[in-house]
Amino acid sequence: MQARRAARELALILFSQLDTVKNLDKCDFQDIVLKSVRTLTNNSVDELKTATNSILEMKEFISEYEANHPTNLERPIEVSDIPVPIPMTSDIQGRLDEILNVAENAMLALEIAEMAALEENSDVKQYIIKIANTFKEHKTEIDEQIKKFAFGWDINRLVKMDKDILRIAICELVYVKDAPLKVIIDEAVELAKKYSTEDSASFVNGILGKVVIENNLK
């Protein structure tokens, strides 16, 4: 996974904690990055437990299906069951898709955490702190841009995840300017699809498009 993409995922967790910080100017971002890594790994463990439980449920279902199949019901009680054909129902396909998705997200999260935690001066950690410091320095201007293009929405009533995704992306677009515009916007939209509401992706994309035009970014 690219370091910048990993940094954006962890930055989103970091930003979710900023509202609880009493004095942002004296905030120790190193400590919050560490807490963000721990949050990510703990969530991954929970997701893997969920996937494991689903696998156990499917195993139990298949065992019961085999035992109650007419082929085995006709066999003597003292003999072991034999394997039987099992229909690949849409329910089972759906469960398998869900398990694969959970496992994939968990592995991705662990990869991000590893990239951020293994090296004290890793590209991931440096970029997270760069984004956080940029937001600390320009918080008022960044939130003003969100207010301006949110068409009457009170910034305090926006979906928290959407607001943090926009804050990170505007930091990168307007101030950091260290990645292509399209990459920043596309990955902000992907974060919205992954972590926020059904309508968030189009909302985030629309706001960032206006930010690009307003700031004459190219």
User: Which segments of the chain have a pLDDT < 50?
Assistant: 1, 118
| H-assigned helices in 1-28 | 3-18
- Would you tell me which CATH number, out of the four given (1.10.760.10, 1.10.940.10, 3.40.640.10, 3.20.20.210), belongs to the domain 5-214? 1.10.940.10
- Quote the pLDDT of residue 173: 95
- Quote the pLDDT of residue 171: 96
- Residue matched to tokens 């930091």: 171
Q: Which DSSP letter does residue 26 get? A: G
- Quote the pLDDT of residue 210: 94
Q: Which amino acid is at 107?
A: M
- Quote the pLDDT of residue 91: 67
pLDDT digits (tens, 9 = 90+) for 102-117: 777 676 666 666 655 5
d(CA 204, CA 173) in angstroms, rounded, equals 13
